[in-house]
Structure 1
Amino acid sequence: MPQATPRRLPAPPDATQLLAGPALTPIALIRAMVMAFDARGMDPSAALAQAQITPAQLRNPAGRITATQMEVISGAAMRELDDEALGCFARPLPWGSYGLLARASLSSPTLGVALKRWCRHHGLLAPDATLAVEESGEVVSVALHLHRDPGPMAELCAVSLLRNIHGLASWYVDSRIALLGAQFPYAAPPHAEAYAVLFDGPTRFDAEHAAIHFDARYLSLPVRRDEAAMNQLLQRALPLTVRSYRRDRLLVQRVRQVLASRPQDAHNANDLAALLNTSPRTLHRQLRDEGASLQSLKDESRRQRATEMLLRTKRPIKQVAEAAGFQNEKSFIRAFKGWTGKSPGEWRGQ
């Protein structure tokens, strides 16, 4: 999403910056960019050299590069090809196209409106691909439907487009949008394990079309950015990923939902974090940032579930304890006394 007419390009990172951090991005994505150069009879060596990607790395099927190298090679290739789609579509998207799309959606009141506008406008620029926001109950998908076979560019096309819109959506609402999963219409590549880094949640291959999935409640979040923020973003938009956002503005709601729907699978922070596709440390930190704690949310959920069952059913205390997410009856009774001052049996009979 670079600017249409940037006044000055940022200085390229030095070798230390380029190679800093883990090398996790598959080299297969870079080989697809090289194909775009080849298709136009252009030499990619300058762009590769700028990102310090060697011929040996390019030939290695198991090769990986750092996030900074990916940023540099992508930016250089987009400028040299004058195509921000990097050869993925029949019609090139000139430098500034994605900036235009992002700016056109900035005035949207909510994320849902912004994403629908972005997808609709993208179709005007690249008619051989349709992006759509598809809602199904509590889950929303941003789906990519291709009207022509991109051939060997299929992976670069799907990965770059979906990461682009995912990152932009997170930026619009200033929130890390946690994915529930992603799917792709091709067989699992040899580097399939890298998709756990590229996209949160489980990844499914050999699907009908490409898509990312997330909680539909994100759509109602307001767009929090303004024109000044957009101008700043467009100076260096390529690093835009959800990894930049530590806050998830729906995290408390998502934790409550999991605790209510799957209490027996969320006994501790490790289990809950796995269900939410995050780490226990991140889970605790983000809840603390929102003025909550995991223990308080667990107590709230367990107390509500237990009291409802004690009032509305005649199930034994042991079964109530299990249904509320306790591992044994003794710990349930102890916790219930802490909440109410009475044992579950005393409270039920009052």
Structure 2
Amino acid sequence: MPVRSPPAAPAQPAAATPMAFARVMVAAYELYGRSPANALKLAQITPSRLQQPEARITARQMEVLSGTAMQELDDEALGAFSRKLPWGSYGMLARASLSAPDLGVALKRWCRHHALLAGDIALKLVITGDSAAITIEERTDLARHGQGAREFCLVHVLRNIHGLACWYIDSRIPLQGARFPFPAPPHTEAYALMFPGPLRFDAAQAELRFDARYLALPLRRDEKALQHMLQRALPLTVLQYRRDRLLVQQVRQALAAHPDQAHNADGVAALLNISARTLHRQLKEEDATLQQLKDEVRCERAKDLLYRSDKPVKQVAAAVGFLNEKSFTRAFRAWTGASPGEFRKGLPG
């Protein structure tokens, strides 16, 4: 029999989470007069490594350490607020919004209910044009136990609500930006992983910003899914969803707004900050193709030009990306069942 090579060792997960966050959790133990030894042991973090300023831990270590600390201290806020958030508080918040008809209502409920548990911060959903933001107003001194504790609290809350929002609608929600009301920390590079998108420090308040169209998407989870999620709720803060349920709309928008840059899959993918392979895969999951969407956008653009302008058909053809009038006429007839001239004559005057 041929000798088989041993299986390759699995790739070790990257250690990208700042050790500074682990030190905040250890400080929470000290605040409550408890020992963090068990939590550090379970997370495989040695006392000497804990004190290394530039050290990093993996997402799994972060999950184990924070989960253990929250349960042992019976405080999911880890001492950040003036009162404890007993273990299960965030699960209760998730359940309270589960019956919402769409993500917008769910997030408004979550923010309102969070204020009932902890008055130290006030979360708010703010919609400005096509953009939505989750903002945090600090109503007490979150830095009373140190600036690191304040930083960790704001990061933890924003990561939690972003992860929950993605989970509710089973969709990746790309961030348009994240802002934080403190100077850029020494571990700023970790923020690019936690909050992919434009970052700003020394802002007026903490906030996440994303496309407001996600707010209209229906929730796709039920009680059974919630129970399963709560068994390991903390990975919500690191989970990346493959699917983006707004991708079709975003592709249409990119094709319409940047036709010169979106003439092929590579161009569209670059505009959306994803790979061409990911673009094709996710469109397939949505039962769409790039060519289909290009045709839809070109058709709508052609209809608009034929209706709103007196441009000759040849100029309309060039404006929507066709090399000649003949190929445009053939495509337009396939799209609408009429030639461009017939379409223009058939519109009410």
TM-score, scaled relative to structure 2 = 0.82
- Between the aligned residues of both structures, percent identity stands at 57
Distance between the aligned counterparts of 1:301 and 1:278, measured in 2?
21
Equivalence map 1:138-153=2 (5 Å): 138-151=130-143, 152=147, 153=149
> Quick check: 1:283 aligned with 2:279?
yes
Match of 1:13 in 2: none
In structure 2, the partner of 1:296 is: 292
Whether 2:98 is the aligned partner of 1:106: answer: yes
**Which residue matches 1:8?**
none
Return the offset for 1:285: 1.1
Aligned to 1:211: 207
Partner residue, 2:241: 245
Distance 2:116 2:247 in 1: 35
> What are the superposed Cα offsets for residues 268-317 of structure 1, whole Å, 9 maximum, x if unpaired?
43443343343333222111111112233233323433553466447799
Q: Quick one: which amino acid aligns to residue 190 of structure 2?
A: A
CA RMSD of aligned residues (A): 3.0
User: Which residue of structure 2 lines up, in the alignment, with residue 186 of structure 1?
Assistant: 182
Q: CA 1:271/1:243 → structure 2, altered by over 3 Å: closer, same or farther?
A: farther
Per the TM alignment, residue 63 of structure 1 is displaced from its structure 2 partner at its CA by 2.0
* Distance in 2, Cα, partners of 1:50 & 1:322: 65
Aligned position for 1:230: 226
The answer to whether structure 1 residue 39 and structure 2 residue 31 are counterparts is: yes
Cα 1:242–1:275 change in 2 (3 A) is farther
- Matched residue, 1:11: none
Given residue 290 of structure 2, which amino acid in structure 1 is its aligned partner? Answer: L
| SS in structure 1 of the partner of residue 239 of structure 2 | helix
Deviation, 1:74, is: 0.9
CA change 1:44–1:259 in 2 (3 A) is same
Name structure 2 gaps, 5 residues minimum: 1-8, 345-349
- State the shift of 1:160 in Å: 0.9
Q: Deviations over 1:11-43 (max 9, x none)?
A: xxxxx99x9422222222222222222333332
Q: Structure 1: 5+ residue runs without aligned partners?
A: 1-15
Counterparts of 1:164 and 1:195, CA distance in 2: 15
Q: Name the residue aligned to 2:107.
A: 115
**Quick one: structure 1 residues 25 and 317, their matched pair in 2 at CA, closer, same or farther if it must change by over 3 Å?**
farther
In the alignment of these two chains, the number of paired residues is 327
SS of alignment partner, residue 240 of structure 1: helix
Residue type matched to 1:290 in 2?
E
Match of 1:29 in 2: 21
1:310, 1:238 → 2: CA distance? 54
Q: 1:334 and 1:219, CA in 2 relative to 1: closer, same or farther beyond 3 A?
A: same
What corresponds to 1:88 in structure 2? 80
The counterpart of 1:196, out of the listed 192, 198, 217, is 192
**Partner Cα separation in structure 2 for residue 242 and residue 322 of structure 1:** 46
CA distance in 1, matches of 2:66, 2:277: 32
Distance in structure 1 (CA, Å) of the matches to 2:329 and 2:187: 52
- Change over 3 Å in CA distance of 1:317–1:88 after alignment to 2: farther
CA distance in 1, matches of 2:71, 2:236: 18
1:108-138 Cα distance to aligned partner (Å, 9 max, x none): 2221111111111100111010011111111
